[in-house]
Amino acid sequence: MDTVGTSLDASLLEGLRELLGDRLSVNETERVNHGMDESSFPPAAPDAVAFLGSTAEASELVRLCAEHDTPVIPFGAGTSLEGHVLATRGGVAVVMTGMDRILEVNVEDLDATVQAGVTRKQLNDGLRDHGLFFPVDPGADASIGGMASTRASGTTAVRYGTMRDNVLALTVVLADGRIIRTGTRARKSSAGYDLTRLFVGSEGTLGLITEVTVRLQGVPPAISSAICRFPTIDQAVDTVISTIQFGIPIARVELLDEPALEAVNAFSGLDCALEPTLFLEFHGSDAGVVEQAQEVQELARNSGGTDFEWATRTEERNRLWQARHDAYWAALASRPGCRSITTDVCVPISRLGECIGETKADIAEGTLNAPLVGHVGDGNFHLTILVEPGNEEELREASELNGRLIRRALSMGGTCTGEHGVGYGKMGYLVEEHGEAIDTMRTIKVALDPNGIMNPGKVIDVGEAARDPAATGSSR
Amino acid sequence: MDTVGTSLDASLLEGLRELLGDRLSVNETERVNHGMDESSFPPAAPDAVAFLGSTAEASELVRLCAEHDTPVIPFGAGTSLEGHVLATRGGVAVVMTGMDRILEVNVEDLDATVQAGVTRKQLNDGLRDHGLFFPVDPGADASIGGMASTRASGTTAVRYGTMRDNVLALTVVLADGRIIRTGTRARKSSAGYDLTRLFVGSEGTLGLITEVTVRLQGVPPAISSAICRFPTIDQAVDTVISTIQFGIPIARVELLDEPALEAVNAFSGLDCALEPTLFLEFHGSDAGVVEQAQEVQELARNSGGTDFEWATRTEERNRLWQARHDAYWAALASRPGCRSITTDVCVPISRLGECIGETKADIAEGTLNAPLVGHVGDGNFHLTILVEPGNEEELREASELNGRLIRRALSMGGTCTGEHGVGYGKMGYLVEEHGEAIDTMRTIKVALDPNGIMNPGKVIDVGEAARDPAATGSSR
C-alpha cells in the first residue's frame, strides 16, 4: 500500500489548501496515523489529512472532494474497532477533533448541542456544574460524532440506552456538500422520516456528522457500586436475567470472566478474586438505591453469588469503573506487542448464558487467550482475542473463532455487532444477518451518495463498480 | 370525487380476486368506509378494498399493484388524524385488521411479535397472564402496525418512550413486493443502517408493515394514580417541568384544561372541578411509588397545586385513564355532529408554558371551542378544535389557528407533530420544519418507491409528476 507519496489531484489539493491552509497535511506520519484505528487491520493511509474547524468548512471540503470523485473518511478519536477509518481507497481523512466546542447546554430541557469532535469526557466535564451528565460511555474517550456514527453504547445502555436513544438531532454534510439539520429539540416527533436515526450508525457512509444534539440526564441523588462473585458464569448471567425481568432499573451490570479479571488486576492494581464477577451500579434516590441493591443482592444470593462488596465513595467508584473501562487495554497489556480481534455479539438475554457457555468452550479448544467482558444486561459481550501482529495462524484462529461466535449469535436471534459497528471488518456478516434487507440499505446508500465518496468500502458493498478502486474515481 | 364506480384495471382486479377471493371488495360502502379516518378531511374512497390475511398475500398484492402502477394504501384501525388513509389518487386500500395474530411472546426477553392488525388492547389482553404489558397507548385502540407507521405514542411516552423506542424489528413488504426483515430480537445493534427506525413513522409511503416485534415491560409491583388541580395552567406546567428535571420517573403526567374537563365530566360521568388539572400515574415498587408521589406532591404544592386525590383501586384507575383516553370523543360529543381539527405540536419543555399560554390567548380571540389535553412531560399537547362539517368559515378559522400554533412551536425549536404523523394534512408544515432536509427524505422516497405507489400524496411530495394523478398511473 502506498503510504509515501500522495496522489490527490493537484487542483483538489490546491482547493483544499486554499480552504484550510496549514490544516491540510500530506505529511507521511500524519497520513499513516490517520489511516489506522484500534482494530488489528493493517493501516491504510489517506492521501491527505484535513483538520476541520467548522460545518461550513466541512461542506466546502465535501463539495471539493465530490467534484474530484475523491473519498471522504471521517476521523474522530481513532478508537473504532472495525477499521472504520481505514482509507482503503485513498482520499481525504477528515479529522473532527478540532471541532471541539460545546455549543449549547439547555439545562431545563436536559439537552446539549456539541460539535462532533467533543469527546464524551469533555462533555461530562462541561456538564458537571449543571448537575447533569451524558450517560453513553464506550470504553474509550471517543468523540460524540464518532459515537453517533457507530451507534455506540457502553456500560449504561441497560438503563439509559444507546446513541440511537440519546441523539435528538444532527447537523450533517451530505455527499454533495449540502448541510442539513435532521431534527429539532422536541423530545418526540412524528414529522417525516427519521433521518436522525438513519445517520446514527451510518459510519460516515451517508454523510458527515458535524454537530450532535444529545439528551442529558440529571445526576442522580444517590449512586452506589458493588461487585459480586459467582461460582460459575451461568449463575452470574441468571442473576442478570432475573434483574432485567423484574424491571429493576439497574444503571450498570457488567460481567468479567477470570482471564479478564486477571488482566484488570495486573493493569489497574485491583485484587479481585478470580471468579466470574459482576460489576454493578445503582442510580436513584437514597432509598431507591438501597431498595434496588437489596433486590439484586437477593437474586444474586439465590444464584450462588457472594455478598456485595461496596464501593460507595466517589473515588472508589471511579477507580472500579475506570478499571472496567480499561479492561480492553488491560487485556492488550497482558501480552506485550499484541493486537486484538474484539468481538461484539448481542443476543436476546434468554440465550445469553447458552451463548457465553458455548463460546467459552470454543475458546478452551483453541490456543488463544480471549478475556470476556460483557454489558450483560443488554445481552451484549466482548471477547478481546489477543493475537500477535503478523502471526497468520493466530489471526486465522481468532477470525474463525469470531466467525463461529457471530453465527452462533445470529442463530439465536442476535446481531453480529451490538455497539462497535460494521466498518470494514463485518461487511460480510452484515449480509448474513440482514439477508434481503441488505439491498434496501444499498439502495439508500446509492441514493444518498451516488458517486460513492463517503467512507467507501465500509458497511455496505455497492457492487462491482464501487469495489474496483479504478472505477470509483479514487486516487489509488 | 368518484366514489361509485371502481376504475381499477380489469386484469389487476382479476389478479386480486384470484389472490383474495371474497376478501377483495369493490362494494361502495366498503370503499367509502375505507377512504376516511378520524380527521376532518373529506373522504376519498379507494377503487377496491383488500382484506389481507398474511405477509405472503401482502407481497403478492403489492407486486400486482406495482405491475399496474396502482396505489397501495394501508388501513389499520382507521383512527389516524391527518388523512393518512385517504385514497386521494384511488388505488387499493389494504385492510390489515384480519392480520390479528400475536405470533410469539418471549416472556424472558420481554418482547413479542405480532401481525400488524393486532390492536394495542388486544396485545395487552394477551400479555396479562404473563405479567407483562405493552406501554404505548394512543387514545384510540389503534393497530400496532398503524402505530408503528405513524410513530405513535400516548400518555406513557414520558416513561417508556414512543413507537420509535419500542419497536425492535419489522417485517415490511417493499414497493416491488419483496419481503424484508429489518432487525433481530437483540436489544441493541450497530449492524448497518437503522431500517427499523426508517420504516417506523414512514406512514406506508416506503413499504407496507405486516409484522412488528415490540419491547414489553413487566407490570410494576405498584401503580397509583392521582389528580392534582392548579389555579393556572402555568403552575401545572411548572410542576411538570420540575418533575422531569429532577429525574422523577413518572409514568404518566397529563394536563387537561377547563374546556377539556367540562367535556370529560359530561362524557365519562366524572365530577372534576373546572381548574387546570394534572392526571398523574406512578409505577414502581411499593416504596418507590410512595416516594415518587411524595416528591411530585411537594413540587405541586410549591406551585400552588392541591393535595393529590388518589385513585388506587384498579377500577378507579382504569376509569380515570379511560376518561383521559376518551377526552377526544368527549370533546366531539360536546358539540353534536362536529368534527375536529386536532393539533399536535411538541416543544422543548422549557418553552411549554409559554407555548400553551400564547395558544390559549389565541383561542380566546376566536370563536371556536378547543379543549386542550397534553402529554406535558414530553412537551406535547393537543387542541381538539371543534368545527361544523361544511362550515367553511369555521374550517378556515381552525386551520389558521393550527397554522399559528405550528409556527409558534417551530420558532421555539419544536415540531409540527409529536405523535400523529404528517399524512395528507401536514405536508406543507413538514417542509417548513425540515428545510433542506426534506430533499433527503424525498431522495429516500424516490429510491425505495420509484413508481410512487406506496400511499402516494402523503408525507412527502415527490414533485410535479407525482402530484398529477394522470402521471402516476393511478386509476383516477
pLDDT in tens, A304-317: 999 999 987 888 89
Report whether pLDDT(A402) > 90. yes
Q: Which of A34, A109, A33, A101 is nearest to A71 (CA)?
A: A34
- Asked which of B288, B304, B329 is the last residue of a domain, the reply is B329
What is the C-alpha separation between A111 and A186, in angstroms, rounded?
A: 10
- SS3 for B321-371 is HHHHHCHHHHHHHCCCCCEEEECCCECCHHHHHHHHHHHHHHHHCCCCCCC
3-state secondary structure of A104: strand
Please answer whether residues A340 and A384 qualify as being in contact, where contact means their C-beta atoms are separated by less than 8 angstroms. Answer: yes
The predicted pLDDT at position A432 comes to 97
Query: What percentage of chain A carries pLDDT values higher than 90?
Result: 91
In chain B, the number of structural domains is: 4
pLDDT tens, residue by residue, A136-186: 999 899 999 999 999 999 999 999 999 999 999 999 999 999 999 999 999
A180/B440 Cβ within 8 A: yes
A420 chain-B contacts, CB cut-off 8 A: 190
**pTM of the shown model:** 0.95
Shared-domain flag, residues B107 and B208: yes
Q: Does B473 touch chain A (CB under 8 A)?
A: no
pLDDT tens, residue by residue, A362-391: 999 999 999 999 999 999 999 999 999 999
Name every residue whose Cβ is closer than 8 Å to that of residue A462 and which is 6 or more positions away in sequence.
Answer: A442, A445, A446, A452, A456
The predicted pLDDT at position A311 comes to 87
Shared-domain flag, residues A190 and A228: no
Crossing angle for the helix pair B314-325 and B258-268, nearest 10 degrees? 120
The predicted pLDDT at position A469 comes to 38
Mean pLDDT of chain A: 94
Please answer whether residues A154 and A79 qualify as being in contact, where contact means their C-beta atoms are separated by less than 8 angstroms. Answer: no
Shared-domain flag, residues B81 and B107: no
A434/B191 Cβ within 8 A: yes
The nearest CA of chain A is from the CA of B398 a distance in Å of 21
Q: What percent of chain B is helix, strand and coil (3-state, nearest 5)?
A: 40, 20, 40
Q: Does A428 touch chain B (CB under 8 A)?
A: no
Name every residue whose Cβ is closer than 8 Å to that of residue A385 and which is 6 or more positions away in sequence.
Answer: A340, A341, A342, A343, A368, A369, A370, A398, A401, A402
Report whether pLDDT(A359) > 60. yes
- Render the burial of B431-445: b for 16+ CB within 10 Å, e for the rest: bebbeebbebbbbbb
Q: What percent of chain A is helix, strand and coil (3-state, nearest 5)?
A: 40, 20, 40
The nearest CA of chain B is from the CA of A255 a distance in Å of 17
B109/A348 Cβ within 8 A: yes
The predicted pLDDT at position B6 comes to 64
Please answer whether residues B80 and B22 qualify as being in contact, where contact means their C-beta atoms are separated by less than 8 angstroms. Answer: no
In CATH, what number is assigned to the domain containing residue B109?
Answer: 3.30.465.10
Q: Nine-digit cell at A51?
A: 483538520
Shared-domain flag, residues A465 and A392: no
The predicted pLDDT at position A5 comes to 52
What is the C-alpha separation between A104 and A82, in angstroms, rounded?
A: 32
Q: What is the mean pLDDT of residues A52-56?
A: 98
B347/A416 Cβ within 8 A: no
The predicted pLDDT at position B465 comes to 43
The predicted pLDDT at position B5 comes to 52
* Closest CA in chain B for residue A202: B193
- Asked which of B264, B294, B329 is the last residue of a domain, the reply is B329
B188/A380 Cβ within 8 A: yes
The predicted pLDDT at position A313 comes to 87
Looking only at the bridges linking them, the beta strands covering A48-51 and A92-95 are parallel
Please answer whether residues B274 and B262 qualify as being in contact, where contact means their C-beta atoms are separated by less than 8 angstroms. Answer: yes
What is the C-alpha separation between B195 and B178, in angstroms, rounded?
A: 15
Q: Does A443 touch chain B (CB under 8 A)?
A: yes
Please answer whether residues B384 and B330 qualify as being in contact, where contact means their C-beta atoms are separated by less than 8 angstroms. Answer: no
pLDDT tens, residue by residue, B286-341: 999 999 999 999 999 999 999 999 987 888 899 999 999 999 999 999 999 999 99
Q: Is position B310 within any domain?
A: yes
Mutation choice for B interface testing from A82, A163, A188 by most B CBs within 10 A: A188
What is the C-alpha separation between A108 and B246, in angstroms, rounded?
A: 10
Q: What are phi and psi of B382, to 5 degrees?
A: -120, 140
Shared-domain flag, residues B67 and B173: no
pLDDT tens, residue by residue, A57-93: 999 999 999 999 999 999 999 999 999 999 999 999 9
Enumerate residues 350 to 369 of chain B having a beta carbon within 8 A of any beta carbon in chain A: 350
Pick out chain B residues at pLDDT < 70.
1-6, 464-476
A247 chain-B contacts, CB cut-off 8 A: 217-218, 220
Report whether pLDDT(A456) > 60. yes
In CATH, what number is assigned to the domain containing residue A65?
Answer: 3.30.43.10
Nearest to B178 among A111, A379, A436 (CB): A436
**What is chain A's Cα-based Rg?**
22
Q: To which H or E segment does residue B217 belong?
A: strand B217-218
- By the 10 Å C-beta count (0-12 exposed, 13-18 middle, 19+ buried), A19 is classed as middle
A348/B187 Cβ within 8 A: yes
What is the C-alpha separation between B375 and A201, in angstroms, rounded?
A: 30
Nearest to B110 among A108, A181, A245 (CB): A245
A110/B244 Cβ within 8 A: yes
What is the C-alpha separation between A314 and A405, in angstroms, rounded?
A: 37
3-state secondary structure of B72: strand
Nearest to B422 among A188, A191, A200 (CB): A191
- Asked which of B217, B244, B265 is the last residue of a domain, the reply is B217
Q: To which H or E segment does residue A290 belong?
A: helix A286-302
Q: Is position B4 within any domain?
A: no
What is the C-alpha separation between B474 and B476, in angstroms, rounded?
A: 6
Q: In 10 A of CB B322, how many CB atoms?
A: 10
3-state secondary structure of A143: strand
What is the C-alpha separation between B170 and B184, in angstroms, rounded?
A: 9
In CATH, what number is assigned to the domain containing residue B262?
Answer: 3.30.70.2190
Q: Is position A428 within any domain?
A: no
Q: What is the mean pLDDT of residues A419-427?
A: 97
Strand A92-95: give its sheet, edge to edge.
Answer: A24-25, A48-51, A92-95, A72-75
* Closest CA in chain B for residue A187: B378
Q: Which comes out higher in pLDDT, residue B473 or A213?
A: A213
Shared-domain flag, residues B139 and B69: no
Report whether pLDDT(A40) > 90. no
Q: Which of A371, A139, A342, A361 is nearest to A265 (CA)?
A: A371
Looking only at the bridges linking them, the beta strands covering B277-284 and B222-229 are antiparallel
Shared-domain flag, residues B190 and B236: no
Q: Is position A430 within any domain?
A: no
Crossing angle for the helix pair A10-20 and A55-67, nearest 10 degrees? 170
What is the C-alpha separation between A428 and A434, in angstroms, rounded?
A: 10
What is the C-alpha separation between B48 and B6, in angstroms, rounded?
A: 7
B421 chain-A contacts, CB cut-off 8 A: 190
Shared-domain flag, residues B127 and B213: yes
Q: What is the mean pLDDT of residues A196-219?
A: 98
B244 chain-A contacts, CB cut-off 8 A: 110
The nearest CA of chain B is from the CA of A177 a distance in Å of 12
The nearest CA of chain A is from the CA of B198 a distance in Å of 6
The predicted pLDDT at position A466 comes to 43
Looking only at the bridges linking them, the beta strands covering B380-387 and B372-375 are antiparallel
Please answer whether residues B427 and B452 qualify as being in contact, where contact means their C-beta atoms are separated by less than 8 angstroms. Answer: no
The predicted pLDDT at position B470 comes to 36
Q: Is position A301 within any domain?
A: yes
Which residue(s) pair with B93 in the sheet? B49, B73
Shared-domain flag, residues B203 and B309: no
What is the C-alpha separation between B236 and A446, in angstroms, rounded?
A: 50
The nearest CA of chain A is from the CA of B428 a distance in Å of 11
End-to-end Cα, chain B, rounded Å: 9
Please answer whether residues B66 and B175 qualify as being in contact, where contact means their C-beta atoms are separated by less than 8 angstroms. Answer: yes
Domain that includes residue A400, residue range: 335-423
B291/A287 Cβ within 8 A: yes
Shared-domain flag, residues B228 and B309: yes
**What ipTM was estimated for this complex?**
0.95
Q: Does B40 touch chain A (CB under 8 A)?
A: no
Q: Is position B436 within any domain?
A: no
Widest pairwise Cα distance in chain A: 70
Q: Is position A437 within any domain?
A: no
What is the C-alpha separation between B166 and B160, in angstroms, rounded?
A: 8
Q: Is position A5 within any domain?
A: no
Residue with cell 404528517: B422
Q: Which of A460, A409, A455, A438 is nearest to A89 (CA)?
A: A455
What is the C-alpha separation between A226 and A320, in angstroms, rounded?
A: 9
Shared-domain flag, residues A309 and A388: no
What is the C-alpha separation between B434 and A449, in angstroms, rounded?
A: 20
Q: To which H or E segment does residue A288 belong?
A: helix A286-302
Q: What are phi and psi of A62, to 5 degrees?
A: -65, -40
Shared-domain flag, residues B177 and B237: no
